[in-house]
Amino acid sequence: MPMKLSLSGLSQQQFLEQYWHKKPLLIRNAFSDFELPLSPDELAGMACEEMVESRIVLHQPEQDTWQLKQGPFEESIFAELPEKNWSLLVQAVDHWVPEAAELLEQFNFIPRWRIDDLMVSYSVVGGGVGPHYDNYDVFLIQGSGSRRWEFGGIYGEDSPRKPNMPVMILPEWKAEQSVVLQPGDMLYLPPGVGHSGVSLEDGSTTWSIGFRAPSVNEILHGFTDFIGEQLKSEQRYADADLTLQTNSGQITDEALDRVQKIILDQVNDREKLAQWFGEFVTEPKYSEITAESDDQSCGSGEVVRRNEQVRIAYTENTATLNLFINGELKIIQADSQSANFVKNLASQIELTLPQSIDSDLQQLVDQLLKSGLIYRI
């Protein structure tokens, strides 16, 4: 049975209105039935795999210095680590562990394309990554053991950082609140909030759901690159309405108006914006995904599951539904079996095919199976 999220009396809408992107929230017993989808040994094994992103952060309290080791690791490293003050962090556990991916289904009240990944940290006594802030929203779920979280204050790029450290450390940070999380408890933190978590016992695990927040720089560069690839070289600045000006060295308001119109004409093209953004937010986290091809046609009533490494979203207009899957666009007729299938696939990790499948849906499902973007269970 899948784990069930409780927002401690809040409705999903109340959480979004009162807390999301606004202020921290501690939820005791958010998952009363939390079960670890993988053991510490399995997590350590993942950190030894070439395709898995992992790191170990060590703290030397006497000198207040930090050390960072990047994976993949040899198994022998875990026997060489000190007894205290270190953490193992493994990114994108949801990509590799289906049961971990199911945890993300409890957060479907937030747009799916906003989710980045599920990171799991394992810590011994004193383990943590130091006082820092993130540029994104995060849910911190205590999986096992206990951890003290201190948090408070808003920080950004201009905030002082401890120099010559391999990880971001806020040297002048002062906690405003302190809480101890037990298994099943959850702490939500919006972007910029300073925080630090320290394990109170060996075997403490935190399951961190981080959300994508593209920078304005990424958005502008991404969209302009997308537009630039579509424009023809003969599309240029033009001034057939040019009038005589007093000083030829002046850039006039009329010239700026022409340039601004060129830019706004592209930005205001909603169709182009939707295509670029759909492709942009569904680009896979890692360039290579693990996918097994299935050439056997899928039958009605069968259960299929989205590849855990795949990102899917869609936009919709009157005539068509635009499916974005791992950064690529596929156009589907609206008000069709295929459109309904795509909508469900974008929001659910697992679904059952209709008892009666038309030829278009059959072709779509078989294509997704063959490419390994979905698989049967």
From first to last of its 377 residues, the chain has per-residue pLDDT tens of 568 999 989 999 999 999 999 999 999 999 998 999 999 999 999 999 999 999 999 999 999 999 999 999 999 999 999 999 999 999 999 999 999 999 999 999 999 999 999 999 999 999 999 999 999 999 999 999 999 999 999 999 999 999 999 999 999 899 999 999 999 999 999 999 999 999 999 999 999 999 999 999 999 999 999 999 999 999 999 999 999 999 999 999 999 999 999 999 999 999 999 999 999 999 999 988 888 889 888 888 999 999 999 999 999 998 999 999 999 999 999 989 999 999 999 999 999 999 999 999 999 999 999 999 999 98
- Look at residue 289 and tell me if it is in a domain: no
- Look at residue 262 and tell me if it is in a domain: yes
Task: Provide CB contacts within 8 A for 144, sequence distance 6+.
Answer: 36, 183, 203, 204, 205
- Look at residue 83 and tell me if it is in a domain: yes
Number of domains, the chain: 3
CA angle 256, 251, 227 (to 5 degrees): 35
- Look at residue 297 and tell me if it is in a domain: no
- 137 and 46 in one domain? yes
> How is residue 95 annotated by DSSP?
G
Structure tokens at 249: 């060295």
- 81 and 230 in one domain? no
- Look at residue 37 and tell me if it is in a domain: yes
- Look at residue 296 and tell me if it is in a domain: no
Structure tokens at 285: 């986290």
- 198 and 157 in one domain? yes
Contact 238, 171 (CB under 8 A): no
Q: Containing H/E element for 362?
A: helix 359-370
Alpha carbons within 13 A on the beta-carbon side of 276:
21
Contact 308, 94 (CB under 8 A): yes
255 alpha carbon, distance to own chain's centre: 42
- Look at residue 284 and tell me if it is in a domain: no
Q: Which residue bears the tokens 């939820």?
A: 27
Q: Identify the bridge partners of residue 306 per DSSP, sorted by sequence position.
A: 374
Q: What range does the domain containing 241 cover?
A: 216-268
- 237 and 199 in one domain? no
Structure tokens at 74: 């040899």
pLDDT score for 1: 55
Structure tokens at 256: 């700026």
**What CATH number does residue 64 fall under?**
2.60.120.650
Structure tokens at 341: 């299938």
Contact 139, 188 (CB under 8 A): yes
Q: β-strands 147-154, 193-199: how paired?
A: antiparallel
Q: Which residue bears the tokens 């002048």?
A: 172
- 263 and 321 in one domain? no
For the chain, give the number of residues: 377
- Look at residue 278 and tell me if it is in a domain: no
Q: Containing H/E element for 350?
A: strand 350-352
